[in-house]
């Protein structure tokens, strides 16, 4: 199979096409013929060596934590899926290789069925970010319909989905975005208010938008105004952020602050599928690259200000 892999750590240019054996699924695994794979900032950190999986990596090393496609084969103990089903999956540091490939073998527990309204390109962009967004909103912040939520970094890969899941809970959502295109996107996804966190009076603007304070904040980016904006979270409120956001939000007496990672499992994927279907989840695609263009995809990622998520389209298929 073709795969985009690295032979050493370094800049985007170290990513290149390799011809590697198709992985064999174990008894509890499924083999996915991938249509699309998501490209995330964490992939870049693995590529340049600043964030290494446990143990010494074996080169060539195939990047990618998530994607979507069709079940091509399954292990003897797998009962949840059938060959030919549309699935999406998330597996960090998968021992049988990442998702920048034509095929990936993952534990069946790390996959779920793709919601009917999503095509496989959109689904390939959503497992890691979808689980991160949903679990931040529901498990970490425990958002209620009466709450006012700040999504700091609402135009990114996680933020665009978090806005939609927060509206599913009935909350009032205030999002940050930079530039007219980003602000328009966040507004169209359902945010009640959008403001530029990089503006000189960002915290003052937020204070006007939320005169009674913020009940909860999901922090997905850093910025000079972050501290002042989070100071508006009321006592008894909560702040959540995925690991990797730096600098981490400062802790404050009377406000619960939690850092977390997305968790995959059968229950988690069923919850994501149900929530995505209920909200009619839209997955903004910031750019589509072929497997051979994976280095270009990483170069685009490093330029920053990505609205939604970058995707590798690995094969074309009429899946709907």
Extents of the domains making up the chain: 2-126+283-313, 129-260
Q: Name the fold adopted by 129-260.
A: Rossmann fold (3.40.50)
Cis amide leading into 60 (omega within 30):
yes
- CA 312 to CA 320: how far, in whole Å? 19
Q: What is the mean pLDDT of the chain?
A: 95
Domain 2-126+283-313 and domain 129-260, same fold? Reply is no
- The residue that leads in pLDDT, 200 or 236, is 236
* Arithmetic mean of pLDDT, 132-151: 97
Count of alpha carbons within 13 angstroms of residue 226, beta-carbon side:
20
Find the range with the poorest average confidence among 140-149, 180-189, 199-208, 225-234.
Answer: 199-208
Instruction: Give 31-52 pLDDT, tens digit per residue.
Output: 999 999 999 999 999 999 988 7
Residue 301 has pLDDT above 80, yes or no: yes
Mean pLDDT, rounded, for 9-28: 98
- Residues with Cβ within 8 Å of 304's Cβ and at least 6 positions away in sequence, in order, are none
Q: Of 209, 204, 208, 205, which Cα lies nearest the Cα of 191?
A: 209
pLDDT by residue (tens digit) across 105-130? 999 999 999 999 999 999 999 999 99
**CATH T-level assignment (fold) for domain 2-126+283-313:** Quinone Oxidoreductase; Chain A, domain 1 (3.90.180)
pLDDT higher than threshold 80 for residue 318: no
pLDDT score, position 121: 98
At 317 the pLDDT is 67
pLDDT digits (tens, 9 = 90+) for 62-106: 999 999 999 999 999 999 999 999 999 999 989 999 999 999 999
Instruction: Say if residues 255 and 237 touch (Cβ distance below 8 Å).
Output: yes
Mean pLDDT confidence for 224-233 = 94
**pLDDT score for 51:** 81
| Percent of the chain predicted with pLDDT > 70 | 98
């Amino acid at each position: 199979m073709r795969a985009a892999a690295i032979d050493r750590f370094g800049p985007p240019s170290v990513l290149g096409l390799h011809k590697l054996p198709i992985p064999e699924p174990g008894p509890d695994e499924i083999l996915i013929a991938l249509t699309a794979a998501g490209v995330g900032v964490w992939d870049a950190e693995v590529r340049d060596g600043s964030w290494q999986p446990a143990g010494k990596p074996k080169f060539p090393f195939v990047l990618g934590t998530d994607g979507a496609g069709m079940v091509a084969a399954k292990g003897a103990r797998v009962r949840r899926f059938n060959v030919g089903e549309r699935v999406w999956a998330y597996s960090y540091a998968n021992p049988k290789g990442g998702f920048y490939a034509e095929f990936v073998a993952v534990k069946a527990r790390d996959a779920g069925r793709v919601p009917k309204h999503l095509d496989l390109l959109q689904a390939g962009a959503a497992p890691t970010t979808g689980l991160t967004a949903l679990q931040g909103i529901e498990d970490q912040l425990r958002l209620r319909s009466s709450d006012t939520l700040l999504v700091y970094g609402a135009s990114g890969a996680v933020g665009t989905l978090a806005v939609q899941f927060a509206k599913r809970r009935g909350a009032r959502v205030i999002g940050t975005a930079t530039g007219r295109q980003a602000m328009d996107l966040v507004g169209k996804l359902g945010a009640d208010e959008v403001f530029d966190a990089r503006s000189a009076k960002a915290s003052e603007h937020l204070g006007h938008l939320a005169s009674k304070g913020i009940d909860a904040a999901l922090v997905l980016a850093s910025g000079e105004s972050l501290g002042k904006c989070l100071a508006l979270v009321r006592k008894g409120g909560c702040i959540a952020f995925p690991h990797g956001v730096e600098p981490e939000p400062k802790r404050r007496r009377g406000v619960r602050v939690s850092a977390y990672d997305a968790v995959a499992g059968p229950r988690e994927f069923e919850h994501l599928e149900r929530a995505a279907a209920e909200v009619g989840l839209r997955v903004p695609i910031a750019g589509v690259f072929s497997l051979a263009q994976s280095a270009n995809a990483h170069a685009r990622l490093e330029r920053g200000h990505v609205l939604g998520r970058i995707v590798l389209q690995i094969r074309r298929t009429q899946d709907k």
